[in-house]
Amino acid sequence: MRINHLPTDPAPDDRPAGGDPAAAGHDLPDHRRLGRELKLFATEPLVGAGLPLWLPDGAVIRAELEKLAAEEAIRGGCQRVFTPVLAKRALFERSGHWDKFSDDMFPPMRVGEEEFVLRPANCPHHALVYASEQRSYRDLPVRLAELGAMFRSELSGVLGGLSRVRQINLDDTHVFCAPDQVPGEIGRAAASVQRCYRLLGIEVARYRLSRRGSGDGYLGHRDVWAAAERHLAEALADLGIEFEDAPGEAAFYGPKIDVQVVDPAGREETLSTVQLDFNQPERFGLWFTGPDGGRHRPVMIHRGVLSAMERLVAFLIERYDGAFPPWLAPVQLVVMPVGEQHAGRAREAAGRAADAGLRTECDPPDATLGTRIRRARDRKIPYVAVIGDREDAAGRVALRLRDGRRLDGVGVERLVEEVSRQVASRSAGLGF
């Protein structure tokens, strides 16, 4: 039996690689079309399928999400680490990836007498970070967070957009704790998921308890699995979270809670996961000193809240139909002089917004105002500040919001303050 996903791996989706719902007569947002139109990412044959280039505007969105992931990690009591994207093949033999997952890994690279592979996951690296010092029960839980690159040797035929790729940049945390700390840590993970989803405007479709299936593609004894599955089910019940049973959907080394979401086309996918693992600590010989002075085995929890940046950004592009809330918008404010004679005042206003940290553009008067406003609307810019004769004289702007509202005579000071407030609070709305 081939287990085709890892604990924090988003489950592969089943959309066709080249299909475009818009072209097929649907009017559903499609991240590949929007990604092209809004210049968020591109794929180049010379680089390879499934290896998207993040263009400047797409990179802004990803950087904002990475910032959120880092803040959330700190808030959740995690320590951040950085580990290499490749390692000796022996590391993944030890972890069991080589045995259970090598069909999905790139082939080894030989360097002298050694063989290296691109990592499919960073769990083994984090197990070794844990093992890098002696741990006491007083040090637990140890929570290690990293947003890093993982690799999948997918065949080019199935690749498309950001949702099927060969490199994912995964928001991943590994918690090492005593067995009695597991319920608290599951609660902490669920709280983090709920906090982030509220902020991102994502609704949970359902929670899924993904269990061991009937095949033999799993690491570890059935009894250990049964205990882990019971732990997860109890933790969910304690949190009052309803869930669905999914036999056969587990990762190869442990059962997991999958947080399922639905895209605008009605397709369900896994975004966040929390996985309970008794096997990796065993394989890496991890231990901590207990209150009794003896050696005890920690439990490892794999927690992926924001998922892969590729998966999350693809989902959000469609969720917002490209009209991102101000804090995620690649360009937040465009200042638009009506004519060349207003350009000085426009540059001044744009400069003040940029000084306040807002992503601002000053639009050159190279076409009619109507054309330029349409251009900004096509780019789904949240705020457009127009400066004509009247505004120039009064030192104000005529504000056009993406939601269609028009506000005349807005002071530049107020404009910058209000937009900054919306951005800082990561609010979904436009304010004013």
Q: What angle do CA 104, 112, 110 make, to 5 degrees?
A: 15
Nearest approach, Cβ of 172 to Zn ion (angstroms)? Answer: 6
Which residue number, 31 or 231, has a Cβ lying nearer to Zn ion?
Answer: 231
Instruction: Tell me if residue 409 falls in helix, strand or coil.
Output: strand
The residue type found at 38 is L
Nearest approach, Cβ of 295 to Zn ion (angstroms)? Answer: 23
Which residue number, 143 or 302, has a Cβ lying nearer to Zn ion?
Answer: 302
- In angstroms, the CA 24 to CA 18 distance is 11
Nearest approach, Cβ of 7 to Zn ion (angstroms)? Answer: 5
Q: What angle do CA 193, 198, 203 make, to 5 degrees?
A: 80
Q: What are the backbone angles phi and psi of residue 305, rounded to the nearest 5°?
A: -90, -60
What's the helix, strand, coil split of the chain in %, to 5? Answer: 35, 25, 40
- In angstroms, the CA 51 to CA 25 distance is 28
Q: How many residues belong to the site for Zn ion (CB under 5 A)?
A: 2
Nearest approach, Cβ of 86 to Zn ion (angstroms)? Answer: 17
Which residues, at least 6 apart from 38, have a Cβ–Cβ distance to it below 8 Å?
A: 57, 317, 322, 330, 379, 380
Nearest approach, Cβ of 277 to Zn ion (angstroms)? Answer: 8
What residue has token string 């993982």? 150
What residue has token string 């990796």? 280
Nearest approach, Cβ of 11 to Zn ion (angstroms)? Answer: 15
The three-state DSSP-derived secondary structure of 134-149 is CCEHHHCCEEEEEEEE
Inter-CA distances, 34 with 58, 200, 268, Å: 11, 18, 20
Nearest approach, Cβ of 308 to Zn ion (angstroms)? Answer: 13
Nearest approach, Cβ of 6 to Zn ion (angstroms)? Answer: 7
**CA-based radius of gyration for the chain:** 25
Which residue number, 123 or 142, has a Cβ lying nearer to Zn ion?
Answer: 123
**Quick one: which segment of 67-75, 246-254, 299-307, 385-393 binds Zn ion (CB under 5 A)?**
299-307
Which residue number, 302 or 400, has a Cβ lying nearer to Zn ion?
Answer: 302
* Residues in contact with Zn ion, shown as a per-residue x/- string from 364 to 403 under the rule CB under 5 A: ----------------------------------------
**Quick one: which segment of 33-41, 79-87, 301-309, 357-365 binds Zn ion (CB under 5 A)?**
301-309
Residue choice 5, 31, 32, 302 for contact with Zn ion (CB under 5 A): 302
Which residue number, 41 or 225, has a Cβ lying nearer to Zn ion?
Answer: 225
Contact 377, 321 (CB under 8 A): no
Which residues, at least 6 apart from 248, have a Cβ–Cβ distance to it below 8 Å?
A: 210, 211, 212, 213, 214, 215
Which residue number, 89 or 302, has a Cβ lying nearer to Zn ion?
Answer: 302
Which residue number, 20 or 93, has a Cβ lying nearer to Zn ion?
Answer: 93
**Quick one: which segment of 47-55, 217-225, 295-303, 366-374 binds Zn ion (CB under 5 A)?**
295-303
**Quick one: which segment of 25-33, 98-106, 297-305, 355-363 binds Zn ion (CB under 5 A)?**
297-305
- In angstroms, the CA 340 to CA 342 distance is 5
Nearest approach, Cβ of 12 to Zn ion (angstroms)? Answer: 18
Which residue number, 22 or 128, has a Cβ lying nearer to Zn ion?
Answer: 128
How is residue 14 annotated by DSSP?
-
Which residue number, 123 or 241, has a Cβ lying nearer to Zn ion?
Answer: 123
Which residue number, 277 or 363, has a Cβ lying nearer to Zn ion?
Answer: 277
Which residues, at least 6 apart from 314, have a Cβ–Cβ distance to it below 8 Å?
A: 31, 161, 162, 163
Nearest approach, Cβ of 338 to Zn ion (angstroms)? Answer: 55
Which residue number, 302 or 311, has a Cβ lying nearer to Zn ion?
Answer: 302
Inter-CA distances, 77 with 71, 124, 137, 189, 194, Å: 10, 21, 16, 11, 16
Residues 104-133 that bind Zn ion (CB under 5 A): 123
Nearest approach, Cβ of 198 to Zn ion (angstroms)? Answer: 25
What residue has token string 């022996």? 90
The residue type found at 102 is S
Contacting residues toward Zn ion, per CB under 5 A: 123, 302
